[in-house]
Amino acid sequence: MISIPTAVDVAALKETTLLNMGIFGLFVAVTMVIVLRASRNNKTAADYYAAGRSFTGSQNGTAIAGDYLSAASFLGITGAIAINGYDGFMYSIGFLVAWLVALLLVAELLRNTGKFTMADVLSFRLKQRPVRIAAAISTLAVCFFYLLAQMAGAGSLISLLLGISDWGGQALVIIVVGALMIMYVLIGGMKGTTWVQIIKAILLIAGAAVMTLWVLAIYGFNLSSLLGAAVDTANNPAVLNPGLQYGKTETSKLDFMSLGLALVLGTAALPHVLMRFYTVPTAKEARKSVVWSIWLIGLFYLFTLVLGYGAAALVGAATIKAAPGGVNSAAPLLAFHLGGPLLLGFISAVAFATILAVVAGLTITAAASFAHDIYASVIAKGKADADTEVKVARRTVVVIGVLAIVGGIFANGQNVAFLVALAFAVAASANLPTIIYSLFWRRFTTQGAIWSMYGGLGSAILLIAFSPVVSGAATSMIPGSNFAVFPLSNPGIVSIPLAFLLGWLGTVLDKKTEDPAKQAEMEVRSLTGVGAEKAVDH
Amino acid sequence: MGNDARTPDVAASADFEEVQATAQFQELRKRHRSFVFPMAAAFLLWYFAYVLLADYAVGFMSTKVWGNINIGLIMGLLQFVTTFAITGWYVSYCNRKLDPVAAEIRHGIEGHEFDKAATGVSGGAAGGAAK
């Protein structure tokens, strides 16, 4: 291949390390001050888990965008479009359309019936203990998968941005990221976490907007010429067509269907997204949050389309693949090509902030679920006072933080977007059927919930364990072994329908019925918002 | 759970089965479901139709329409357009058809019109006294 005159000098990237660290340090300092200020009013459990329900719809919507647009979205999708063209774009469509499930079916009803966690809603009219335990277990499982993805992303990002390529150095940076995250969540609770996510969302969307306009300006604001340039650089017209990545075999086509199902049904079942709906005072604000996040996230994914093809045209797939960090380096390399070290430093700092903010959101969700659902409701049987519960939550934050650091060090090098897709599949299988049934199906029973949650969670994890992800392929987690009896790398197409089926079967085979008064209460509360927890006054 | 410094539940004494049985609540429920269910079915069908086309009709999706813009790209961008449109539609439907009814029922419950003690008295009359 002819060398591209505009190609990025990867070696020059290392000289910007100090600048990257400086900009990132500034971000940490500014957010830490804000977190400290925000945490002054953290008194009750509602303050710690739900930020006193004091955020507005637009603030929460921005925070949701900050929580949702993870490193997988920014680095992963831009890279996927740069390398695989159209197939990368299809990822972002699934991630966006999924928000309609949250908007229409889940957000407001959930805000009206729960307090802090997903389990509050699921156990509302069913038997408290078994349903709460099952919901907490699936919350912890989804958070763990998602956390692993983010920490693994931190490792590969660092190799590019800070020029640290040895395993020990990357491990050290993962420890630093983890320690920072623990501090944010410990001190700031949900309020501090939300502010970190808001700041990060604004920086990320602004940064992406600047780069998008820049790329478009180079091509005279003509999308067609940008696409033409991407075809020229790749020397392959197929980058504009679907199928480059997933169209190879019948199995890979089916795998894409499975991925699409998991993406579109997973979002509305992600515990850390659901928990964000409790930080606003009313269901109307919850609706407003989703509307804000749909606009912000949609806009951002339109940017990634331009950025991805821009990286393909200006940097070139060959250079991206050869760079440290591989596919994930497309966006930073494009930033360097456009704006030199300063823009690269800014984009790198934003990418770090992204990981930090998402990891903080996941950690507080997992800690709240453990403290509120398992400790307060099951171990202490509802007798724990709020102070003890928050104390337990804070200790859980440290434990989860340490687990994430250790997991992240070992997951370092795994594909980020892919690990996130697994988290979506597990969430869609384990949580979504029970959420939908308990909100909309009067007859639904405890047995149906238990079958659906454990069946969905178990089948999703088992199918992953026996898939090419874990063994039997060159890119597997355990290379050199082969026990991959399930051919697809995403379990969604089997485990999601199975979980819906089990929820139905468990209910119709259940001889017991649930209390109709509880069902009436849940339905009336969910639709009218009567008695829903209001904002905490200070 | 009572483990939180929460405001007292204004609906604690309400008979929710009575509320559920009212024509007004049944209407709210009907309006909610008759919008969200067909809409959810429609956008999911449209999304999966798109995924299936991209997966199995590569030739069709690769047809160039204008310059380098092909049908696949246009359909992908249309997914964005429909998502934004459904969002806007839902918000306006809520403001017009759902929120006013929900607020009315909520005020009724908060005004103790449906308290369990108030059996035998029709909801509206008891509520008037409580207010």
Closest CB from B39, B47, B91 relative to A287: B91
Distances (CA, A) of B10 to A108, A477, A521: 19, 54, 13
Give the pLDDT score at A537: 59
Cα separation, A452 vs A441, in Å, equals 14
Give the span between the Cα atoms of A332 and A344, in whole angstroms: 6
- Stretch A459-485: mean pLDDT: 81
**pLDDT-derived band at A536, boundaries 50, 70, 90:** low
- B127 within some domain: no
b/e string for B21-41 if b means 16 or more Cβ within 10 A? ebeebeebbebbeebbeebbe
* Predicted TM-score of the model (pTM): 0.88
Contacts of B76 in chain A (CB under 8 A): 86, 89-90, 93
Per-residue model confidence as pLDDT tens digits over A158-172: 666 676 777 787 788
The verdict on a CB contact (< 8 Å) between B72 and A86 is: yes
Q: With CB atoms and an 8 Å threshold, state whether B51 touches A246.
A: no
Q: Domains along chain A?
A: 20-413 (1.20.1730.10)
Whether A213 contacts A206, CB under 8 Å:
no
Looking at CA atoms only, how far is residue A6 from chain B in angstroms?
Answer: 23
- The token duo for A353 is 């902030």
Average pLDDT over residues A235-252: 84
Which pLDDT belongs to residue A467?
85
Domain total in chain B: 1
pLDDT score of A13 = 57
Asked whether residue A303 carries a pLDDT value surpassing 80, the answer given is yes
To the nearest whole Å, the CA of A527 is away from the closest chain B CA by 7
Q: Which of A241, A305, A378 to mutate to test the interface with B (most CBs of B within 10 A)?
A: A241
- Residue with the bigger pLDDT between A168 and A308: it is A308
Give the C-alpha distances (Å, rounded to integers) separating A249 from A94, A470, A487, A488, B56. Answer: 21, 20, 12, 12, 11
More confident residue, A481 or A311: A311
Give the H/E segment covering residue A480.
Answer: none
Q: How far is CA A507 from the centre of its chain?
A: 31
Q: Which residue has the tokens 């805000």?
A: A111
**pLDDT grade for B4, boundaries at 50, 70 and 90:** very low
Min mean pLDDT across A96-105, A115-124, A245-254, B113-122 is at: B113-122
Chain B residues in contact with A294 by the CB 8 A cut-off are: 83-84, 87
- Distance from C-alpha of A349 to C-alpha of A29, rounded to nearest angstrom: 12
Kindly give, in sequence order, each residue whose CB lies less than 8 Å from that of residue A309, ignoring residues fewer than 6 positions away: A81, A82, A85, A226, A227, A230, A239
Question: Contacts of residue A100 in chain B, CB cutoff 8 Å?
Answer: 39-40, 43, 83, 86-87
User: Which of A51, A152, A50 has its CA nearest to residue A110?
Assistant: A50
Interface membership of B114 toward A (CB under 8 Å): no
> Using the beta-carbon criterion (under 8 Å), do A382 and B106 form an inter-chain contact?
no
Domain containing B27: what range? 23-114
CA distance A49 to B126: 38
Residue B84 lies in a domain: yes
Q: What is the ipTM of this complex?
A: 0.88
Residue A4: per-residue pLDDT = 38
Q: What is the pLDDT of residue B117?
A: 62
Note whether A520 contacts B20, CB cutoff 8 Å. Answer: yes
> What pLDDT does A240 receive?
87
Residue B128's Cβ-count burial label (10 Å; 0-12, 13-18, 19+) is exposed
- Within 8 A by CB and 6+ apart from A527, the residues are A109, A112, B25, B28, B29, B32, B102
Number of Cβ atoms within 10 Å of the Cβ of A383 = 12
Segment A343-372 mean pLDDT: 86
Task: Give the whole-angstrom CA distance, residue A304 versus residue A85.
Answer: 11
Interface of B with A in 44-83 (CB under 8 A): 44, 47-48, 50-52, 54-56, 58, 61-62, 66-70, 72-73, 76, 79-80, 83
Do A150 and A380 touch, CB atoms closer than 8 A? no
**Which residue type is seen at A115?**
K
Residues of A in contact with B60 (CB under 8 A): none
Asked if residue B17 is part of any domain, the answer here is no
| Distance between A263 CA and the closest CA of chain B, angstroms | 11
What are the beta bridge partners of residue B69? B66
pLDDT at B3: 38
Report yes or no on B58 lying in a domain. yes
For residue range A492-508, what is the model confidence (pLDDT) as tens digits? 999 999 999 999 999 99
pLDDT grade for B127, boundaries at 50, 70 and 90: very low
**Rounded Cα gap, residues A225 and A342, in angstroms:** 27
Q: Residue A383 is inside which H or E element, if any?
A: none
CA distances in angstroms from A420 to A97, A143, A234, A302, listed in the order given: 17, 10, 28, 20
Given pLDDT bands bounded at 50, 70 and 90, which one contains residue A120?
confident
Residue A253 has pLDDT above 80, yes or no: yes
Nearest residue of B to residue A246, measured between CA atoms: B55
Tell me whether residues B11 and A531 touch, CB distance under 8 A: yes
| Of A106, A136, A107, A104, the residue nearest A123 (C-alpha) | A136
Least trusted range by pLDDT, from A127-141, A275-289, A442-456, B6-20 = B6-20
Q: Which of residues 59-118 of A touch B (CB under 8 A)?
A: 86, 89-90, 93-94, 96-97, 99-101, 103-105, 115
Q: What is the model's pLDDT at position A473?
A: 75
**Across the A/B interface, how many CB contacts are shorter than 8 Å?**
182
Q: What is the pLDDT of residues A28-69, one digit of tens each?
A: 888 888 888 877 777 777 788 788 788 888 999 999 999 898
Residue B53 lies in a domain: yes
Asked if B10's CB is within 8 angstroms of A298's CB, the reply is no
Distance set, CA A519 to CA A331, A503, B62 (Å): 49, 17, 50
- Is residue A218 within 8 Å of residue A361, measured between CB atoms? no
Residue A9 has pLDDT above 60, yes or no: no
Measured on CA atoms in the order A253, A258, A259, A265, is the torsion positive or negative?
positive
Measure in Å the smallest separation between the Cα of B103 and chain A Cα atoms. Answer: 7
The stretches of A39-127 forming alpha helices (DSSP H) are 45-50, 57-68, 71, 78-84, 86-101, 107-113, 118-122
Q: pLDDT of A385-416, one tens digit each?
A: 878 888 888 899 999 889 888 888 877 766 66
pLDDT-wise least confident of A107-111, A317-321, B1-5: B1-5
Judged by CB atoms closer than 8 Å, whether chains meet at B68 and A231 is answered as: yes
The string of pLDDT tens digits covering residues A412-451 is 766 666 677 778 889 999 999 999 999 999 999 999 999 9
In chain B, what is the straight-line distance between the N-terminal and C-terminal CA atoms, in Å?
Answer: 29
Residue B47 is assigned to a structural domain of this protein: yes
Tell me the C-alpha distance between A16 and A348, whole Å.
10
On chain B, the residues whose CB falls within 8 A of the CB of A48 are: none
- Is residue A8 predicted with pLDDT exceeding 60? no
Smallest Cβ–Cβ distance between B106 and the set A223, A301, A530 belongs to A530
DSSP run (H or E) holding A328: none
Torsion of CA A436, A442, A448, A454, to 10 degrees: 30
The distance of B67 to chain A (nearest Cα, Å) reads 6
pLDDT of residue A319: 87
**What pLDDT score was predicted for residue A481?**
77
Verify whether the Cβ–Cβ distance A90 to B76 is below 8 Å. yes
At position B12, the amino acid (one-letter code) is A
pLDDT, residue A279, reads: 86
Is residue B124 pLDDT above 50, yes or no? Answer: no
Q: How far is B4 from chain A (nearest CA, A)?
A: 6
Least confident of A140-144, A213-217, A294-298, B90-94: A140-144
pLDDT in tens, B99-121: 999 999 998 888 887 877 644 44
